[in-house]
Amino acid sequence: MKKIITILSLVLSLSLKSQQSDILYIPDQNSLVASYNFKQVGLYVGGFYMTSLPQPYTYTTPYSMMNRIGISYVSKNNTFSIMGGAFLEHYIVNVEMSPDVWVKVYPIRLITKNPRTLDFSLGLNYSKGFRYGVGLSIPF
């Protein structure tokens, strides 16, 4: 599933002519968050995945679903990003939403002052508690 989401984010970033794309992994939730920025504003979407389900085993694995969506803003020199949107909790009948806020920093771009370099990203999230994420940022 990680490979599929990574390939999908790369293909979308090339076809949508984005300025930069990011993919973050959040270990606490087994989630991947992909963001696409056009100029300075863009969107992000996240997905939850798991490879096994609790008993009774009634579904096939791997199991995945979208769990966050929102908009993102990147600074002009591509050194940090702020994202805000909704965290979605799926239940059998309804979907419950709560605020989702991200702050991401690109350390290599911050040090070298070059906005067009390949970089990794460090993200801090607040949505019903604090979480962190690490990932890759690809400028185009």
Which tens digit of pLDDT belongs to each residue from 27-85? 888 888 989 888 889 999 988 776 665 555 555 445 557 788 999 999 888 889 999 99
Look at the alpha carbons of 106, 124, 28, 40 in this order and tell me if their dihedral is positive or negative.
negative
The DSSP bridge pattern shows strands 63-74 and 130-139 to be unpaired
Q: Could you give the domains of the chain? A: 2-139 (2.40.128)
Least confident interval from 7-16, 92-101, 114-123, 127-136: 7-16
Query: Residue range 105-112: average pLDDT?
Result: 91
Q: Which two tokens stand for residue 93?
A: 């009948």
Which pLDDT score, from 0 to 100, does residue 17 have? 53
